Amino acid sequence: MPTDKPSLLPVTNQTNEKHSSRPTYHLSVKTYDVIDPDYGRAGPSTRHAKSHLKGLLSLGAVTSVALVVLASSSDTACLSSAISRLPSTSSVSSVVRWATGYDSSVHELRYQDEACRHRPQETSSEIDDWIDEERDISHRAILDNIGPRAGAIPGLVIASPSKSHPDYFYSWTRDSALTFSTIFDRFLPGPNSTAYAHGDPSLEPLIREYIHAQGNLQLLSNPSGTFLDGGLGEPKFEVDGTAFHNSWGRPQRDGPPLRAMVVSQYAEYLLDRKEPFDSTYINENIYNPKTVMAKGSILKSDLEYTAHNWHRNSFDLWEEINGLHFFTLLASRVALERGAALATRLSDPGAASFYTQEANAITDRLELFWSPDRNFISATIDAPRFGRSGLDSALILAFLHAGEQGDGVWGIAGERALSTLISYVDSFKNGLYKINDVPGDGWNGAIAVGRYSEDVYNGDGMSLANPWYLCTFGVAEMIFRIAIHFEKVDQIPITPISLHFWQNVYPSAKSGDVYQRGDGVYEHVLEKLAGWADGFLLIGKSFEGPEGSFTEQFSRLDGTPTGAKKLTWSYASFIEATNGRNEYRHISALKRD
């Protein structure tokens, strides 16, 4: 199977009799195996083919295109979305797709003859091309911030290459785990509905380097304690893999459960793969059922730390408030639930029941965060004591990274999540950020949002805080995930608690209404929801940095990128949000067919 760069066959120029002034182009695009070793799927080959196509279209001379694509299925999807956005003056006469299913061992050609169907949700948006390119940029930017390429030891993720104003040249446990969760999604072959149906096996060595490096960090004595006594709560480390000794908001107890979540996903994957050497790897590097906390048992050590410490105060994910936090607890709960499942698979029943017991205890405690009077979840117990309303992006991030699926009490599409989301977004209204004063509908009703409305951290010191990319993209993703749920269940019930959320996209909504697929309102509401979510991504598009880079924040006054440059977490949040968008578009297209 050829793996060279695509050959774009010469365009044959034929005279179109009917529109005598306009020639018809028959464009054949051949993109041979476009799995690019450096960039994975949708690498430069696809971009090259797409931009060639775009160039021709922008000439305005194209009235008809015949396209032959030889590519992996994800690339044909990319290209057909480009075709579906042809200017209205042109028409696609036929599209014949030859697709090779990507499978590294079998390169068998499969023939797919598919009419180019007009998919409305793929034509409407100018942001599609930007998203495709920005996803590549973000993935590369993440890889550039890991290991020796970033000036760190192998497997360590730097928060940002910025070494002064601010100095973010450290490795945070939280940022690293969330980054590897994004990388893991790309590594793991998923169902068709995900952006990565085929996975990217080339990322496995990097995942192992991460696990190895984290295992060594766990053992370091540091200002939070020793390996066996509190040290796992240390939030950040030097990039050479040594402890950080200056004063800091410590401990932060979200790190171990976030790390456990991603490492347990990898362990589950290895157990499913059923290779004998994989069990050895698990035993020696991830989870040793014969020990409690031990070197080489990184996952069990994190689970033990989490199970014993979740109820204790610690600093929040923004490193500012020492208290009990929804984000930390939700992450702890999921980590322990997954940990219990894994312990069972690894014949460690005692651990499994302990983790389950603690996860249940967390569930009981979560109720304290819900405020029926204010109709939202508070990010921290006793938030007013810290001068906070309790509305915080940490809530959105909690649902994204540790929420339940569906519309249960702590589900991402549950009424509490919906009312919390809208309350959080609303807390940035009333002129807080000048850039949100846009005429009319602005970005489909979306606004730029930051960590929490009382924030004063400007990215380098204390003055006026700004909106953050990762918070704004987080809202986009959460809305997509909510839309995915309601696409799946074919109906939207409006409850007293969720009413305000739904009125934001459908002002006539009333409590007690139930919209059903096919009744028109249901379709309208979901379309508005997806458009609203796109608005939050469009804000990122409006204020991205040079060459598609993302800092931590962008100015509340004029949107200029500010704060730590090339923030790894900003890129990861963009990828996650657009994964959500892709999944939403996939399911909504299926349901409408």
Of 166-174, 286-294, 370-378, 507-515, the segment contacting ligand NOJ by CB under 6 A is 166-174
CB 445 within 8 A of CB 539: no
Q: How far is the CB of 248 from ligand NOJ (least distance, A)?
A: 8
Q: Which tokens go with 21? A: 């002034």
- Given the complex with ligand NOJ, which of 63 and 179 has the nearer CB atom? 179
Percent helix / strand / coil, the chain, rounded to 5: 45, 15, 40
- Given the complex with ligand NOJ, which of 82 and 564 has the nearer CB atom? 564
Q: Report d(CA 295, CA 287) in Å as an integer.
A: 10
- Given the complex with ligand NOJ, which of 168 and 244 has the nearer CB atom? 168
Q: How far is the CB of 159 from ligand NOJ (least distance, A)?
A: 4
238 binds ligand NOJ (CB under 6 A): no
Question: Among 46, 116, 113, which Cα is nearest to 75's?
Answer: 46
318 binds ligand NOJ (CB under 6 A): yes
- Given the complex with ligand NOJ, which of 76 and 182 has the nearer CB atom? 182
460 binds ligand NOJ (CB under 6 A): no
- Choosing from 316, 392, 552, 583, the catalytic residue is 316
- Given the complex with ligand NOJ, which of 103 and 167 has the nearer CB atom? 167
Q: How far is the CB of 443 from ligand NOJ (least distance, A)?
A: 25
Question: Among 354, 205, 206, 190, which Cα is nearest to 272's?
Answer: 190
Q: How far is the CB of 337 from ligand NOJ (least distance, A)?
A: 24
- Given the complex with ligand NOJ, which of 207 and 470 has the nearer CB atom? 470
Q: How far is the CB of 325 from ligand NOJ (least distance, A)?
A: 12
Tell which one of 133, 268, 319, 527 touches ligand NOJ (CB under 6 A). 319
- Given the complex with ligand NOJ, which of 172 and 355 has the nearer CB atom? 172
Task: Determine whether 229 is an active site residue.
Answer: no
- Choosing from 144, 319, 523, 527, the catalytic residue is 319
How do 171-172 and 236-237 pair as beta strands?
antiparallel
Task: Determine whether 254 is an active site residue.
Answer: no
Q: Which residues pair with 226 in a beta bridge?
A: 229, 230
Binding mask 320-339 for ligand NOJ (x = CB under 6 A): x-------------------
Q: Report d(CA 163, CA 152) in Å as an integer.
A: 13
Which residue in the block uniquely carries the two structure tokens 């760190």?
152
- Given the complex with ligand NOJ, which of 569 and 574 has the nearer CB atom? 569
Tell which one of 25, 39, 102, 168 touches ligand NOJ (CB under 6 A). 168
175 binds ligand NOJ (CB under 6 A): yes
Helical residues (DSSP H) of 440-498, grouped into ranges: 469-489
Of 45-53, 137-145, 169-177, 499-507, the segment contacting ligand NOJ by CB under 6 A is 169-177
Q: How far is the CB of 315 from ligand NOJ (least distance, A)?
A: 9
25 binds ligand NOJ (CB under 6 A): no
Buried b / exposed e along 364-377 (16+ C-beta atoms within 10 A): ebeeebbeeeebbb
Of 46-54, 138-146, 171-179, 489-497, the segment contacting ligand NOJ by CB under 6 A is 171-179
- Given the complex with ligand NOJ, which of 64 and 314 has the nearer CB atom? 314
Burial class (CB in 10 A: 0-12, 13-18, 19+), 475: buried
Binding mask 551-570 for ligand NOJ (x = CB under 6 A): ------------------x-
HEC assignment per residue over 379-446? CECCHHHHCCCCCCHHHHHHHHHHCECCCCCCECCCHHHHHHHHHHHHCCCCCCCHHHCCCCCCECCE
Size of the site for ligand NOJ (CB under 6 A): 11
Q: How far is the CB of 271 from ligand NOJ (least distance, A)?
A: 31
Residue 518 φ/ψ region, left for φ over 0, alpha for ψ in the -120 to 50 degree band, beta for the rest: left
Q: What angle do CA 548, 553, 556 make, to 5 degrees?
A: 110
Does residue 496 have a cis bond before it (omega within 30 degrees)?
no
Of 80-88, 273-281, 313-321, 403-411, the segment contacting ligand NOJ by CB under 6 A is 313-321
Q: Report d(CA 377, CA 399) in Å as an integer.
A: 11
Q: How far is the CB of 471 from ligand NOJ (least distance, A)?
A: 11
Query: At 397, which amino acid appears?
Result: L
CB 416 within 8 A of CB 410: yes
172 binds ligand NOJ (CB under 6 A): yes
Q: Which tokens go with 350? A: 């005692």
530 binds ligand NOJ (CB under 6 A): no
574 binds ligand NOJ (CB under 6 A): no
CB 83 within 8 A of CB 547: no
- Given the complex with ligand NOJ, which of 141 and 317 has the nearer CB atom? 317
Q: How far is the CB of 363 from ligand NOJ (least distance, A)?
A: 25
How do 64-72 and 91-100 pair as beta strands?
parallel
Q: How far is the CB of 474 from ligand NOJ (least distance, A)?
A: 12
HEC assignment per residue over 572-588? HHHHHHHHHHHHHHHHH
571 binds ligand NOJ (CB under 6 A): no
174 binds ligand NOJ (CB under 6 A): yes
Q: Report d(CA 121, CA 368) in Å as an integer.
A: 41
Q: Looking at residue 530, what DSSP letter applies?
A: H
Q: Looking at residue 72, what DSSP letter applies?
A: E
422 binds ligand NOJ (CB under 6 A): no
Query: At 406, which amino acid appears?
Result: G
254 binds ligand NOJ (CB under 6 A): no
Q: Which residues pair with 12 in a beta bridge?
A: 26
- Given the complex with ligand NOJ, which of 159 and 261 has the nearer CB atom? 159
Q: What angle do CA 202, 205, 208 make, to 5 degrees?
A: 140
Binding mask 134-163 for ligand NOJ (x = CB under 6 A): -------------------------x----
Contacts of 535 (CB under 8 A, 6+ apart): 442, 443, 444, 445, 446, 476
Q: How far is the CB of 549 from ligand NOJ (least distance, A)?
A: 15
Longest Cα separation, the chain: 82
317 binds ligand NOJ (CB under 6 A): yes
Residues designated catalytic: 316, 319
Interface with ligand NOJ (CB under 6 A): 159, 168, 172, 174-175, 317-320, 457, 569
